[in-house]
Amino acid sequence: MGIFDKFHSLAADQRALVDSGVNPFNVVIERLISATEAIVNGRRTILAGTNNYLGLTFDPQCIEAAKKAVQDQGTGTTGSRMANGTYVGHAALEREFADFFGYRSAIVFSTGYLANLGMLSVLAGQGDTILVDAHCHASIYDGCRMGSAEIIRFRHNNVIDLEKRLRRLGKKTANTMILVEGIYSMLGDRAPLADIVTLKQKYGAYLLVDEAHSLGVLGEHGRGLLEEAGVGNSMDFIIGTFSKSLGATGGFCVSNHPELDLIRYASRPYIFTASPAPPVIASTRTALKILETHPELRRRLWRNARHLYQGLDDMGFSLGPEISPIVAVRMPSIKQALVLWGNLLDRGVYVNLALPPATPDSASLIRCSVSAAHTQEQIDYICKAFSDLREGAIALDAQSTAVDSPLDVTPAF
């Protein structure tokens, strides 16, 4: 037995994809034109799978802020936050995130993934319990596994199942953390956050919400589901990322607990990772101000989301449970999903392909994400491409290919 033997099944799945003529995991963006268009495979392509919800990656103010930071502070910090990697911008951004949410303090991490690893690996330890929604992101599960707490999954968005598990824990709820997301990344549905807050308070548990896909998307000021649900002061910890609505890379955690600052001395992903580069911090600070002061971006985003969701729904596609900037199309089989994804790309529409076991309920998904920067004409073009290809995709024989079995990839939830 060699160390690579475990990858044999993955290699077989990869060969099956190559043989099918579709390789969704090797798309190269050859040249970016704007927040919503790029050259892919030599063709001008609409980007409808980037999570660039507010379209800020090409915002002139963000670009200018990044340029100035490069000129003034260089291309990178070359050190972790605990060493030489805390610049004045990092500290300022932490204050600005805390003020944005109206919370006591914040910590900035190098990525959103590391924010979950960095917090969850140390928050709950031996003798503690984590109750995690079954559809939570891989970074949440990985962070939990890095700690030593007992991990219990509850049924997705099921407050009855959550309460049953809280009740069974008895006095242990005082050392229990509930983990949910504002908007879930695969199907675009929201957590029933107000009901979960009620349970948290009833049983004396802690609550962490990951607003990665809801920051800038939900709430009057873009603070996420906690603002939309009217429970903004009830979170113990709020985690998020810069890589969606803020158009950069990085992550954060906000809390009212004074002990949050102690995480800096215990979190290995924080201590041993190089801090975000100055241009990233500068553009993120600018994007956060734009997010808060330009509600018209959210209105435009939701107009586009409703347009695409309604258009695909009218065609008879099986979609996620609610209108969201994440519009997920359920396909009957992996092959049908692969073929539709490849044909959409050939038509100049880039979307995400999500396959089991990296999807809820082992679904084969064509996952679209809408941006405020999309024009009505672009959404119309996406709808037309789906309409033109629908019958051919549905008519495929799902039993005629080796890639109908789940691919051996890391689950995303």
Q: Rounded CA gap, 95 and 381, in Å?
A: 42
| Cβ partners under 8 Å of residue 106, min gap 6 | 94, 95, 97, 98, 252, 253, 254, 255, 260
Residue 20: burial class (beta carbons within 10 Å; 0-12, 13-18, 19+)? middle
> What's the DSSP call for residue 172?
G
Task: Give the active site residue among 185, 245, 364, 369.
Answer: 185
What is the residue whose two structure tokens read 């044909």? 343
Catalytic residue list contains 185:
yes
Q: Where are the alpha helices (DSSP H) in 221-351?
A: 225-228, 268-271, 278-293, 295-314, 334-346
- How far apart (Å, rounded) are the C-alpha atoms in residues 316 and 333? 16
Collect all residues with Cβ–Cβ distance below 8 Å to 144 and sequence separation of at least 6.
120, 124, 130, 132, 151, 179
Task: Find the catalytic residue in 135, 200, 244, 335.
Answer: 244
Distance CA 141, CA 131 (A): 11
Residue 54: closest CA among 287, 225, 351: 287
The Cβ-side half-sphere exposure at 274, using a 13 Å CA radius, reads 10
DSSP 8-class letter at 407? P
Q: Which of 200, 213, 307, 374 is catalytic?
A: 213
Closest CA to 310 of 319, 301, 300, 298: 319
Please confirm, yes or no, whether 244 is among the known catalytic residues: yes
Can you tell me which residue has the tokens 């049924």?
155
Roughly how many angstroms between the first and final C-alpha of the chain, as a whole number?
30
Question: Which residues does the annotation mark as catalytic?
Answer: 185, 213, 244
